[in-house]
Structure 1
Amino acid sequence: MAVIMEGGQTHFYEEIEPFCRWRRTEDIDIVELHLPPGVKKEHIKIQINNNGLLTITGCCPVDQTTSIKFSKETKVAKNCRRNEIRAKFSKGVLYVTMPKTSPLAAAPSVASKGNTSEARDHKADDDTSNISKCASEFHSKFGSLRQRLWRKTVVEGVAAVVVVAAAVVGAVKAYQYFMASPV
């Protein structure tokens, strides 16, 4: 949580990393970014630099003194056609579509129907590709969750300890009360 003083008024910013899901195929990559409620298209900024780093940032006001800031950075595929990247925002989800150059145009292959060993090699390549897709999704989902959990403020941690301590003290007092009362 960041605090900024603006003209004598305090403004709070909660910084979050939104949940991100990747969908990858041979010819296209799609990033789904699940944004907090209240975010509008005007609040979102998407940039890509010369090194292929896609940056999605934004800030959304919650009320007069509080806003939510979010940020997500990811590296795009080397064979991505950067000038054809498109974004669509619908029902709280930002879809960034990144078309790729055709793998057939990049590396043509000659295949015959009778060659079963080559068919097996393509199957093995597809299996390896699926495994890497699953691993990528797993790291994307749980990596951002881990980062969000670690970003909790000290105040929230102290508040949780105080609530637990109060519950324990209350339970002890209730036990003492019932044990002291005559049956």
Structure 2
Amino acid sequence: MMESGPMQFYEEIEPFCRWRRTEDIDILEVHLPPGLKKEHLKIQINNNGILTITGGYPVDQTNSIKFRKETKVTKNCRRNEIRAKISKGVLYVTMPKTSPIDAAPSKASKGDTLEIPDHKVDDHIGIIAECASRFHSHFYSLRKRLWRKTVVEGVAAVVFVGAAVVGVVKAYQYFMASPV
């Protein structure tokens, strides 16, 4: 008989992802599971414009966590300038865009993949912070407008329901009081 080691179990997870887009740059924010380190990640882009992020790490001797995220990058993305950085459990993949004047077809050959280094991302931290600030201010103003609209609609709904309840009570009293 042959002896084998302990059986391995893999848990496939879907990490939370969020896009932040501006005219100049797209940022994919991937919230990584706790315990995942830089060396557990692999980021590639193929010649069809599919960005693939894979990762996995052992939780203990018999359990591991794995994930795979695929997304299509925009055609105007400067693929050779894509950078990745991990900060506080979040992977930031920055994808600079070409201006319409700079747009040129990609020269990637069939089957090529691009390993994305995480250096030079520090240069983009200011851009990321600016994008986040701009996103937050736009989101906040939209939220304020929607909140006002929601409050007004909510009050109108409460008044309508209240009037309906009063109408039903009055109708009930009328029919109960009338002789049969």
TM-score range for the pair, normalised by the shorter chain length? 0.5 to 0.7
Unaligned runs of 5+ in 2: 104-134, 140-180
Residue type at the aligned position of 2:56:
C
Distance in 1 (CA, whole Å) between partners of 2:7 and 2:13 is 20
Tell me which of 75, 80, 97 is aligned to 1:78: 75
Corresponding position: 1:37 with 2:34 = yes
Unaligned runs of 5+ in 1: 1-5, 107-129, 135-183
Distance in 2 (CA, whole Å) between partners of 1:105 and 1:8 is 56
Please state whether the residue corresponding to 1:45 is helix, strand or coil: strand
Pairs within 5 Å for 1:155-174: none
Residue type at the aligned position of 1:35:
L
Please state whether the residue corresponding to 1:60 is helix, strand or coil: strand
- Residues 45-87 of structure 1 show CA distances to partners (whole Å, capped at 9, x for unaligned) of 0000000000000111111110100110000000000000000
Counterpart position of 1:99 = 96
Distance in 1 (CA, whole Å) between partners of 2:4 and 2:99 is 54
The alpha carbon displacement at 1:91 in A equals: 1.1
Please state whether the residue corresponding to 1:9 is helix, strand or coil: coil
Corresponding position: 1:51 with 2:48 = yes
Distance in 1 (CA, whole Å) between partners of 2:56 and 2:102 is 41
Tell me which of 19, 22, 32 is aligned to 2:19: 22
Q: Tell me which protein shows more strand as a share of its residues.
A: 1
The alpha carbon displacement at 1:9 in A equals: 1.5
Distance in 2 (CA, whole Å) between partners of 1:26 and 1:96 is 16
Distance in 2 (CA, whole Å) between partners of 1:71 and 1:77 is 19
Q: Tell me which protein shows more helix as a share of its residues.
A: 1
Counterpart position of 2:10 = 13
Q: Structure 1 residues 8 and 105 mapped into 2: Cα distance closer, same or farther (>3 Å)?
A: closer
TM-score of the pair, normalised by structure 1: 0.53
Contact 1:26 1:103 survives alignment (8 Å): no
Please state whether the residue corresponding to 2:60 is helix, strand or coil: coil
Distance in 1 (CA, whole Å) between partners of 2:49 and 2:4 is 39
The alpha carbon displacement at 1:103 in A equals: 3.7
Contact 1:57 1:71 survives alignment (8 Å): yes
Distance in 1 (CA, whole Å) between partners of 2:89 and 2:14 is 14
The alpha carbon displacement at 1:29 in A equals: 0.2
Question: Could you say what the CA RMSD is over the residues aligned between the two structures, in angstroms?
Answer: 2.0
Pairs within 5 Å for 1:56-135: 56-103=53-100
The alpha carbon displacement at 1:8 in A equals: 3.4
Please state whether the residue corresponding to 1:10 is helix, strand or coil: coil
Larger Rg: 2
Contact 1:27 1:103 survives alignment (8 Å): no
Counterpart position of 1:163 = none
